[in-house]
Structure 1
């Protein structure tokens, strides 16, 4: 059963309740889906912006801390009180360097190196007397202040001992040229800043609670190599991404790391701080999309909960309102049913309720009063009608008999010429309006005069009746068969082209030729017919034009020896036939 039909069988109360419930479900679902779709998009944008800001904060912290270390080493290189101890008093110089290391323990090593690359003094005496001439920081600082990117320890690794996490030591190098009072370069002071310092900065930037507690921050060098984070030393950025970052120093939507589609990403590129040139570090902050969308899931759940509560309230209100409406209507229905079942009851009690229900009650009471008056008049009219019923029935029967006589050939029971032409003209109008096919077949009994002269007119009538029966038997229910007079018949074939008309004519001819016709209990006579066929043409004025053309084909069949079918297509067929 279709849903509308089933719904219509429910009461008004049930329909209003179900309709309200359906509306609530639709609205809640729509609001939920809209909130989820819009919220996810807005949340992704907001979180990506926050991640970019977080990356920028850490990049700034790294630059500022490096700038402090950069200035500390530069200040140490320029201290006038040390100019007399750089080369002459290694012990005093070592003490100064160790005090600086104590003030900032992230200095893993600080040392002064002569121009030949020999370490003169260093914290804890490490590398003293050894040559560092091949170290990039020493070579770079011979011309100007030098800052080197993160690298693993080589000479210091054995001296510092193993780390607790068994990871290699990694440092950032800061070095300055040292000059005497005359401005002559006498050596280089260099410092190895432990890269653990960056991990501490990272931990201070990452939130310890909330959804951002699951965020991850990585530091990459200017070539995209990971310095801190997952996949250390792996190159995680393509040249295209690095080129885009050079034009835009911060942003979001970076495809980075494992399964980038599962993460929201923000990044920032360090730019240095004041006279500290910076190393072009790239800070990338990430947060799982699932965590970013967690508030949206909570919001969707809240919407569903509120929607469910409001839906229940709405259904209850709809149930109450529908009861106020359906109750009076149900009372009216019961009273109307009682009036229909009990004789003599034609008064409807007044019903209260909504304005429309009161108006309906008044209208029905007024209608019942009019019905009562009509019943009285009907009783009078019925008595008068009954007196004329017999006369009316007899008159109708006479009219029907006259109509049949006026339209039917009395000998064969077929349509006569007048009835056939009237019906055929209506069919012509139909086929021309809807571009359909229509064919005409004219038939004539061969040598019929000889039958009359030889066997008498009664035999001739028997032949005409049997030929009519066989023509009718060969036709379809939708075809019209008529006797036009004497031994001539006309057949109208609906939805038929020339081929179908010729097929019908040949079938009828064989049926008549194949079996002799009984003219009395002891005699039979064999007859044949000739037939002419055509179809309705575009330039036919009416059905008579087609009949005349088929009649011409009939005469052609007669002239060709009778007992045959001829087709006439001497004019352009109608649009339906042509199609």
Structure 2
């Protein structure tokens, strides 16, 4: 049964409307996708630049803050009013330093060390009398102003008290040499700026730029290690990225491919005025999913509006297609009427589109031609029917002749010629595929006595009865033939000598066990006779020229059975020799 597609079930009007709607949907989907991709790319570039500006703002605040801290320590170290205090009593100096710390709370520790590195006094008395001669800030502070990079507290870690949060105390060291009245260096004023100041600066920058939802700011040192942000101390930039930072101190996309799902911008804190800067790298990043959310919202809005317009377009196409296809529907209805009504053989002239008029004209011409062709076809069919009937009769005659030529008219078995032809094919097949074939020859015992006593009609009955037993015991693939008189030959397929003997014994037993009804004799009495058969068996040998050689051996075995007293089965000499 032919399969019916969806287009076959829909009308032309529905197909036009559906195609228009699908086209609109595809165009809207493609437009929305293109808008989303372009918008996402443009948004990524825009937000990347804004993040770079955010990083630059953070870097500027860090530079300016560090400049202020740097300048504050320098101003304190150079104040002439404090020159007498530096070498006064430690208690007096400590109170002065604590007043300074109260004015500048971002410093976790302020202390003054003599020229030999011994801390004369410090805020809260921390490290008083301790030697800081080997600390980098002191050694560098003797030579001039010094500012060091962020590091964890070493000497002060156990003196500052418990730390809120998980991270340890971290400082930025600031140091200035202190000169006496004669201009000689009498010590170093050192201060440890708490790195919490940078965290407060970051929160302030993010608060000002609160439109960056989910944004983060990280501060890295010049080697790319995290100073402020998640995974403190981890190296976030490789050598190639650091080289890019050196070549281009500000930009976006520094971590592109390394942190998938983030948009990034960066800037380098390069210093401010007298503050030389420490090469800090500021990274500002925002999740791409959050950054591109407005673009996705816009694409969804476009998609929803587009779907609505697609529905309107489909409705408009449905109305327009109805007007355009009305002549086609009329033409279809007329054509269907012609198919249902045998008395209608033409179409009316239809108006409408030029194509419809031309189609109507062509169909009218086609119907006229079809009428002529139908008449000729009917005439040809009558002639074909007549010839077909003659052909069937001829085929039946040929089949009857073939059956007469190949079958024995008395028993319906194969005759000698048909058997030999079929046996030749079976022998060729058996030798090609190395299959076994057996031949059985049977002969009715004392058949002449049956004819002499009961007549030839009774003999024919006896022959048909024996033929029926032979045929019933054989398989569909076996060949059973009457070779003449009371003699029969059977070709057993796929059978060895044992199978042949088994078949022969079954036939012999069946025939001897059932008397043959011969009808009534000349006196009107029922007559019956018990028949016996003698059978000879052999198998096709490699040296046999054809099946006739096997039949001759089986026939020899048959004569041996007759000589042994009849009503028995014998195998050929070749099989007996092989068995012995």
Bin of the TM-score, shorter chain as denominator length: 0.5 to 0.7
Larger radius of gyration: 2
Name the CA distance, whole Å, in 2 between partners of 1:421 and 1:44.
95
Q: CA deviation at 1:515?
A: 0.9
Alignment check: 8 A CA contact 2:52 2:284 kept? no
Name the CA distance, whole Å, in 1 between partners of 2:58 and 2:64.
10
Q: Which residue of 2 aligns with 1:264?
A: 262
Structure 2 runs not aligned, ≥5 long: 246-253, 520-527, 562-567, 575-580
Name the CA distance, whole Å, in 1 between partners of 2:168 and 2:358.
95
Name the CA distance, whole Å, in 2 between partners of 1:10 and 1:425.
64
Name the CA distance, whole Å, in 1 between partners of 2:7 and 2:457.
70
> TM-score by structure 1 length?
0.64
Name the CA distance, whole Å, in 2 between partners of 1:110 and 1:217.
29
Alignment check: 8 A CA contact 2:436 2:540 kept? yes
Q: CA deviation at 1:455?
A: 2.5
Alignment check: 8 A CA contact 1:482 1:490 kept? yes
- 2:409 match: secondary structure: coil
Q: CA deviation at 1:301?
A: 1.8
Name the CA distance, whole Å, in 2 between partners of 1:157 and 1:374.
116
The within-5 A match list for 1:105-124 is 113-115=113-115
The within-5 A match list for 1:124-163 is 131=129, 133-134=131-132, 136=135, 137-138=137-138, 141-142=141-142, 145-147=146-148, 149=150
Q: Which residue of 1 aligns with 2:186?
A: 186
- 2:533 match: secondary structure: coil
Residue in structure 1 matching 2:443, options 437, 443, 447: 447
Name the CA distance, whole Å, in 1 between partners of 2:191 and 2:213.
34
- 1:413 match: secondary structure: coil
Task: Answer yes or no: is 1:252 the counterpart of 2:248.
Answer: no
Q: CA deviation at 1:174?
A: 0.7
The within-5 A match list for 1:97-112 is none
> TM-score by structure 2 length?
0.64
Q: How far does the alpha carbon of each residue in 1:292-337 deviate from its partner, in whole angstroms, 9 at most, with x for none?
A: 4524532552453255235425544664576467655543443333
Aligned length: 536
Name the CA distance, whole Å, in 2 between partners of 1:326 and 1:420.
72
The within-5 A match list for 1:211-360 is 212-219=212-219, 228-229=228-229, 236=232, 238=234, 251-252=254-255, 264=262, 266=264, 273=271, 283=282, 285-288=284-287, 290-295=289-294, 297-302=296-301, 304-309=303-308, 311-313=310-312, 315-316=314-315, 319=318, 323=322, 327-352=326-351, 360=359
Q: CA deviation at 1:197?
A: 3.7
Q: CA deviation at 1:215?
A: 1.0
Q: 1:316 to 1:454 in 2, by over 3 A?
A: farther
Residue in structure 1 matching 2:531, options 525, 535, 556: 525
The within-5 A match list for 1:469-548 is 469-470=468-469, 472-473=471-472, 479=477, 481=479, 483=481, 485-486=483-484, 487-489=487-489, 498=494, 508-509=503-504, 511-516=506-511, 518=516, 520-521=518-519, 522-527=528-533, 529-530=535-536, 547=547
Q: Which residue of 2 aligns with 1:413?
A: 412
Q: CA deviation at 1:133?
A: 4.4
Q: How far does the alpha carbon of each residue in 1:488-541 deviate from its partner, in whole angstroms, 9 at most, with x for none?
A: 556696xxxx46x88986775454233116262411313355566669x9xxxx
Name the CA distance, whole Å, in 2 between partners of 1:510 and 1:39.
96
Name the CA distance, whole Å, in 2 between partners of 1:408 and 1:55.
109
Q: CA deviation at 1:210?
A: 7.4
Q: How far does the alpha carbon of each residue in 1:152-187 deviate from its partner, in whole angstroms, 9 at most, with x for none?
A: 79989999x99999x998753211223458763211
Alignment check: 8 A CA contact 2:59 2:267 kept? no
Alignment check: 8 A CA contact 2:152 2:168 kept? no
Q: 1:356 to 1:98 in 2, by over 3 A?
A: farther
Name the CA distance, whole Å, in 2 between partners of 1:95 and 1:378.
129
The within-5 A match list for 1:196-211 is 196-203=196-203, 205-206=205-206
Q: Which residue of 1 aligns with 2:249?
A: none
Q: How far does the alpha carbon of each residue in 1:53-111 deviate from its partner, in whole angstroms, 9 at most, with x for none?
A: 4685367436633662475268548859789667589999x999989997x88567766
Q: 1:139 to 1:374 in 2, by over 3 A?
A: closer
Structure 1 runs not aligned, ≥5 long: 538-543, 569-579
Name the CA distance, whole Å, in 2 between partners of 1:464 and 1:60.
124
Name the CA distance, whole Å, in 1 between partners of 2:35 and 2:552.
83
- 2:262 match: secondary structure: strand
Q: 1:147 to 1:383 in 2, by over 3 A?
A: closer
- 2:212 match: secondary structure: helix
Q: CA deviation at 1:373?
A: 2.4
- 1:525 match: secondary structure: coil
Name the CA distance, whole Å, in 2 between partners of 1:34 and 1:491.
83
Q: 1:71 to 1:55 in 2, by over 3 A?
A: same
